[in-house]
Structure 1
């Protein structure tokens, strides 16, 4: 089984080290100083407890060096994927599975989803149908990423918490390809359950990302503050209720309620969200996949999203003013 991780930053690098340790045939696509460090001295992982591991890895910025794969696990930021679809083609053979480990509403969301919207394409997350046409939705296997990690320096990944990568077919089946990847990830010490309702997990994670990320980027409040301040908690709650209405109209079942989800965010503590970190670093933020897509889905399903739309307008302008739009 050949596995390529495309976008081997923090999460992809963490997964790559674990797979390499387990003896998997894994390769990494990265760029810049991080790639150079991996090629020169391998990839280092610092685990939660401080244990440090270094592994030699096959890494390149040119997919043609790596050839067709059984699985291509995409761990880029959502807005980065459409532009690299042509660059990824050498990795894709007749039976390649694309594993979409990307935050937000996925481009394939309506593939094989029973109901009136089956086959609908989302411009906010897949402009010009780049992924739908360039990958093909039949190749996709959904993945909800739970670990937290960071690139502490080029060639070094610091694992903060979590080791679960939930997998799921768009049609809910327990396919051979899903089970085979689950087995490979499990052999590497990762949790990789195959879920029959992967969209439910997508929305529970999106609930927090949709609201906490832009609010924190706008206010520079950490999670513990924005989830307990009465004003920002009310804004987050309003966004989440609007999102829940849309998701339930699409058949999603939420295992927890809104207030419990917000309390869970508060319990994380003084955490700076990824959107805030990207803004401070001068990097584009995942605005459309996390917020714009929910607004688009509200329009599609006929459910108003006034709170989401207000925050969306503010964070879009913030990105523009910061020069990262």
Structure 2
């Protein structure tokens, strides 16, 4: 299959490299020093699942030059999805599949608004990875997985074909859940609570889950997100919030979320797509979310300042 990786950072760089290693035709969409390094020396991935180097690697900052592909993997940050959707139009033909791997639960809706419902499927992933240096991605934690499916959960040839491609890739497990919405919201449940508590405390999960005061905040966030999900028709099991807390309790003590790391570095973050989304989606169905609302409000001044700084001339460099 012909793949384009829209956003070739930790997530896109890792999964794209694994697909290329397996023999798929992969083009990395990147920019700045990262793009220059990939073009010159290829893409190197240092991974707990085995290192890989794609050399030479196909890379571009111009989707129009790539042309129509079989699958676009969207791995930009959640706040960049709409802009990415507009940019990827030249790569999306009548048979193209668009697979979002963002945190949050709104990326597919945003992509469908721009590209139409036809190409877009639902997806999520799990991995701890980042750009170590231009042209170099480091995968340091989590056994990497992708889960995806048609938005109404029906079986399709294109989903089977996509899974077959991932099944050939080393260091990736691919799954088609029975209910992609439940899978997506289950990840959102724990990652949003982990992001929120980590971002306001600036502490790793091992600290916040042990202190009774901060553990209570985590539990309240989980309860609110659970209620919002059910109000939006997500068929959660009765113990969804308890399962998410068990997952949080089982994580390495030093774990932090990407949102927390961005906020601590003074960078734009996924605040609006995580705790902000809980507040927004809750209001849409009449569910109050006071804990998420407080966290969102407390972090918003810094978020707006980081966005303003990032939008200034010369601030963009991937």
* Structure 1 position 254, deviation (Å): 3.5
TM-score by length of 2: 0.90
Structure 1 residues 192, 241: CA separation in 2 closer, same or farther (over 3 Å shift)?
Answer: same
TM-score by length of 1: 0.88
2:147 corresponds to: 166
2:90 corresponds to: 90
Alpha-carbon displacement from aligned partner over 1:168-201 (angstroms, at most 9, x marks no partner): 1111012111110000011113211112301111
2:121 match: secondary structure: strand
Alpha-carbon displacement from aligned partner over 1:201-237 (angstroms, at most 9, x marks no partner): 1111111222221221221110111112111111111
> Where does the alignment leave 5 or more consecutive residues of structure 1 unmatched?
110-125
Structure 1 residues 167, 84: CA separation in 2 closer, same or farther (over 3 Å shift)?
Answer: closer
2:53 corresponds to: 54
* Structure 1 position 132, deviation (Å): 3.2
Task: State how 1:17-32 maps to structure 2 within 5 Å.
Answer: 17-32=17-32
1:136 corresponds to: 116
Contact 1:279 1:285 (8 Å CA) reproduced: yes
CA distance in 2, matches of 1:54, 1:147: 18
CA distance in 1, matches of 2:102, 2:33: 23
1:178 corresponds to: 159
* Structure 1 position 47, deviation (Å): 1.8
1:43 corresponds to: 43
2:223 corresponds to: 241
Task: State how 1:70-219 maps to structure 2 within 5 Å.
Answer: 70-108=70-108, 126=110, 131-160=111-140, 161-189=142-170, 190-219=172-201
Alpha-carbon displacement from aligned partner over 1:81-100 (angstroms, at most 9, x marks no partner): 11232221111112211111
2:313 corresponds to: none
1:162 match: secondary structure: strand
> Where does the alignment leave 5 or more consecutive residues of structure 2 unmatched?
310-318
2:289 corresponds to: 305
Task: State how 1:223-238 maps to structure 2 within 5 Å.
Answer: 223-238=205-220
Aligned-residue Cα RMSD (Å) equals 1.9
1:86 match: secondary structure: helix
CA distance in 2, matches of 1:6, 1:83: 11
CA distance in 1, matches of 2:290, 2:126: 29
2:248 corresponds to: 265
* Structure 1 position 290, deviation (Å): 0.9
1:98 match: secondary structure: strand
CA distance in 1, matches of 2:116, 2:25: 24
| Residues paired across the two proteins, number | 304
